[in-house]
Every structure is written in C-alpha cells, then in structure tokens.
Structure 1
C-alpha cells in the first residue's frame, strides 16, 4: 500500500509518497496550481494508486482527486503537527499520518466533499453564531439575499477558476448577456489571472473565497487574515480591482470568525438557493431547483471548480431562460445589496 500526502503553499502543491515502511517510494514532486491535472496523472501513473491524505485547510483538490477515482482522507488538527501561519503541514507528515493511523482520519465522500463528517460541527457553528451574525447583519455586512421587493437574482459561482469549466460558464453568460459574481479561491486566482481578467471585461464581479478553501473555525485569526489578504492580492493583481465581498467556504463560521471578518472590513455574502451542483445531481435537478426556489432578491450558489462541473454548465441555459421568462433581472451581488 502506498500513501501520499499533499501539502499546499503559495507556490502550489507538494506531493510525497511513502510505502508501507514509511519510506519515500518515489521522489517528492511539486506542482504549480495550473498543473493540477498533471498532479493527478502523477498519482494515477504510479505502480499502485496511493491513498491520498490532505488536511482540513485543503478544500480545493479532493473533488478533482475523487472524480479521478483516487481515495482521499482528511487529517484534522488533532492528529497533525501545528500548521504554519500560511500553508499546510508538510506532505511527508501527512503521508506518514495516513500510514500510521488511517482509521483516525476521515475518508471523504464525493457527495459530501471535504466537509465529510463535519456536518454536525458546521450546524453547531451556525447556531452558536446567531447573535454575532445578527450584529454584522445590522451593520450591513452580512447577507443571504437581497431586497425581496425587487425582481432581481444574483448568480454566484464558487471555487474557481478551473479550466475548462469557468470559461464554459463565461461563454454561456456572455451569450445571454447575464452578469454574475465569482467567489474565487486564491490558489487558482494566482494560476489563471487571464480568466479573472475576462470576468471583469464581461462585467462580472469578483469576491474572495479564501486561498485554499479551509474550514474556518479551525483557523487562528492570523491564519484567516493570511488566507483573505493573499487572495485579495491575487485578485487585485489579475484585475486591477479590489474586492471586499467574501464568502466563507461551506458557510463555516463561529462567533470568533464572524467577529474577525467584521474587523477585516469585509461584507460576507451567503445564499438562499443552493442546488448542490457540486454533488452532480443531474442537469435537470440543478436547473429545476433554482427555478423552483428562486425569489426576488435570491442569491444562487453554483460552482465552476472543485471537480467535474459539466452539469453546472449544461444547466445554465434552462436556468437563465426560465428566470427571464418570470421577468427576473440578473444583477451582480454588489447591485443586489445596494439599497435605493
């Protein structure tokens, strides 16, 4: 049995593979963010496809790995060395943790993603944060929808950019003249600046979705700040524009996280319509859910990265045409949140 740890940092991903004795099985390899397909082929090309171990701050790879048929496990902080301020623990530590104690890790499920097994923790965080959320909502810094009296809808896309799906989404939006808001992860914003530039040229808005799609309650304030600031810098470098829109991965939060986000002068944007397109439930299900649940002021959560997003792309035409037939106007989040 082979075990591979995948670590992340500003420059991309580090891959280390060990054998059943904990010894390095193949030379360690590094892959820039744009070489993620090569990383996957590197693992699949080994004599035996390894069990992959990632940590809870790495939410950008698991969907793509599992779509390629690779078994992925999440190692949580309790079984790992302390993380640095930015980046993950070394890949070798992750690989050897999988070898030594795979049963203590969480095997990820494609239909549940990196949050596999954390659903109750997420729900508890939502409940515990109600008072903190109410405070920032009253300050106009936290939204799940816009004005219910205005027939407007905002389409939003998370986790990108990722070829080829982001460009395919942009093609459909361009064909219909529909603006959208893209909440980008920094690691891929850095890799594909030309795609971000195209978004701005087409009239779309960009938001910050952290650097590596982590589970926020496990971060310190300084770790969260690094995730946000570096992603903001990558977006600004690619587009020449600064964003203060922020979407927490999974909507994850705690009272402390909500307070920290408020101190960072960010406007947190959630959603009220989510067809769970990342689970690949079928094109008709995705478009049908949006058409059934969209109301005036709705913010629709979709994904242009994180795995196979062909169903999302295929659902867009029916979704857009159906909402236009109901006399909805499409707006970017900034416009949706603007009060007259």
Structure 2
C-alpha cells in the first residue's frame, strides 16, 4: 500500500481488528519493467475506460537456504540483475486479471473471501503480514491448499524506506520463514507496504528468491468507501493483465467481501480469466 496507504503505527490496529529480484535465475510470465520506481502507481490508475466499455471492448524453484528458528537468515548481497521496479501490469497473461489481497489473514474476512473465490473456481494472491500469518497459520495453510499464491507483505507493515538493511532483512526474512513453515514452500512474491520500494528491498527480496509485485488498480477499500464504490473502481480499471489491490484485514473488510461477490462474476461473464502469475 502507499495506497496500501496507511501509516506504520497502524500495524498495532491489526491485532485489535483481528481480535522477487532473482531475474538472472528465474523467468516470470510477465514483462520485466525497466527503470526505477520508489512508489507504486497512483490510486485507481485505470487500465480501461470502465467496465461498461472496458468489459465490452477491452484495450488492447528457487528455494532460499533453510532458515533457522533462533536466528535471522544470513543474506548475501544480491547479484545482478536485480529489479529496479516492481511488476504492476502483467500483459503476458492475455485476457486475464490478477486479484490480490493484503494485510491478512484475518479470521473474519479471509475465509469469506476464500469461499467466494472457491465458488467461482478462481485463484488469487494473498500478501500476508508475518505477525498475522504467525497467529493464524491455519488460515495461511487454507489459502495455499485452495491453490492461491501466498506472498510476503513484511512482518509489521512498516515503511520500508525508513528501515536499515538489517531491518528490511528481518521484516522479510521472518515473514518468509513463517509462510514456509505454514505451507511447506517459501514465498516467491512480495509487496512493499504502502507501495514504498527502495534498493534495499529489491536487493534483499531478490536474495530471498522473491519477485516484487505492485498493482494496477487500487480499490482504496481500506478507506471503507462502500461496496458499490469498490465495484466501480474495479470495473473502471478492468483490462488484460491488470492487478487489483484489495485487503482482507486491517479493519472492517465487510465491504471488500461484498464487493468481491459482485465484481468477480461480472469479470468472468465478460470473458476475463482470474488467475495468478507463475514463475518458470
């Protein structure tokens, strides 16, 4: 989130509310963006003119070394090439879109989102925070067992650009360890909190075997704008290769759940595949 756009102190509210760079070794089925970016795209960057028009006429295993329980993993400087921008748009997926959910898992909302995805037999990406994943490992397992991708969203959702390299390593490394313990597989995608990326996060993410994923369409669901507004934002941004940012934790996400139930069948009815990117 920049537009994963909360502030670092907000991580404490999650507990109250809940009451990858290795491009030289791995190919990803997505275009490799060039250049440098520190922050992810502006809110609601539309990939199409709206679902009424967009849905009718749409514009055109790396495995890190085992982590030990008592100490953070050792990181070496990532060897080039290391990405300097996250993936935002995945045109190589064809007429498909990627749905992503950040900040979970949450025992109130994540199961409801999983049920809707299961009903329509589609897969999504869940970028989990380590402190939530550690508390709700059964939900992390359920996400993976349903065939969804579990990504790394840091441990405490800090502003990564304000952390030292050691701090970034700890945030990403601990989260990868919990994900691997819960699912049996280390994550191969990560997302910077607030959409704030820097060289340290790209290099350390790469060293952990992860690719950076941003988004194309920001639903801003964390502001609780109403389910109808969330649906309209997804409709207006619908396009081949679009990546949609939503949340399944961090507050009241009932609007996000309701919106998904509305826009997901619409997308499918208009010929979109809902899928996840695969590394190869």
2:13 is aligned to 62
Q: Give SS of 2:101's match.
A: strand
1:287 to 2:231 alignment: yes
2:94 is aligned to 150
1:179 is aligned to 123
What is the distance in 2 between the residues matched to 1:195 and 1:247? 19
Deviations 1:254-313 (A, max 9, x none): 344334433443200000011100100110110111011121001110100000000000
Deviations 1:57-106 (A, max 9, x none): 544233676999xxxxxxxxxxxxxxxxxxxxxxxxxxxxxxxxxxxxxx
Could you tell me how far 1:165 is from its partner in structure 2? Answer: 0.6
1:265 is aligned to 209
What is the distance in 2 between the residues matched to 1:298 and 1:272? 6
1:247 is aligned to 191
What is the distance in 2 between the residues matched to 1:61 and 1:321? 35
What is the distance in 2 between the residues matched to 1:205 and 1:321? 21
TM-score of the superposed pair, with normalisation by structure 1: 0.59
Q: Tell me, yes or no, if the aligned pair for 2:17 and 2:252 is still in contact at 8 Å.
A: no
Deviations 1:227-265 (A, max 9, x none): 111111111111111112100001112344334433443
1:49 is aligned to none
Could you tell me how far 1:177 is from its partner in structure 2? Answer: 1.1
2:39 to 123, 126, 145: 126
Q: Where do 4+ consecutive residues of structure 1 move more than 6 Å?
A: none
Unaligned runs of 5+ in 2: 1-6, 20-36, 41-80
Q: Tell me, yes or no, if the aligned pair for 1:61 and 1:306 is still in contact at 8 Å.
A: no
What is the distance in 2 between the residues matched to 1:143 and 1:218? 22
For the pair shown, which has the larger CA radius of gyration, 1 or 2?
A: 1
2:270 is aligned to 326
1:313 to 231, 235, 257: 257
Q: Tell me, yes or no, if the aligned pair for 1:64 and 1:308 is still in contact at 8 Å.
A: no
Residues 283 and 177 (structure 1), Cα distance of their counterparts in 2 relative to 1, 3 Å cut: same
What is the distance in 2 between the residues matched to 1:185 and 1:176? 26
Q: Give SS of 2:217's match.
A: coil
Residues 202 and 63 (structure 1), Cα distance of their counterparts in 2 relative to 1, 3 Å cut: closer
What is the distance in 2 between the residues matched to 1:287 and 1:228? 32
What is the distance in 2 between the residues matched to 1:175 and 1:66? 26
What is the distance in 2 between the residues matched to 1:237 and 1:262? 20
Residues 67 and 285 (structure 1), Cα distance of their counterparts in 2 relative to 1, 3 Å cut: farther
1:217 to 121, 139, 161: 161
Larger relative CO (CA 8 A, sep 6+): 1 or 2? Answer: 2
Residues 318 and 235 (structure 1), Cα distance of their counterparts in 2 relative to 1, 3 Å cut: same
Deviations 1:13-59 (A, max 9, x none): xxxxxxxxxxxxxxxxxxxxxxxxxxxxxxxxxxxxxxxxxxx7544
Residues 202 and 65 (structure 1), Cα distance of their counterparts in 2 relative to 1, 3 Å cut: closer
What is the distance in 2 between the residues matched to 1:149 and 1:193? 30
Superposition RMSD in Å: 2.6
Unaligned runs of 5+ in 1: 1-55, 69-123, 128-134
For 1:83-94, list aligned pairs within 5 A.
Answer: none
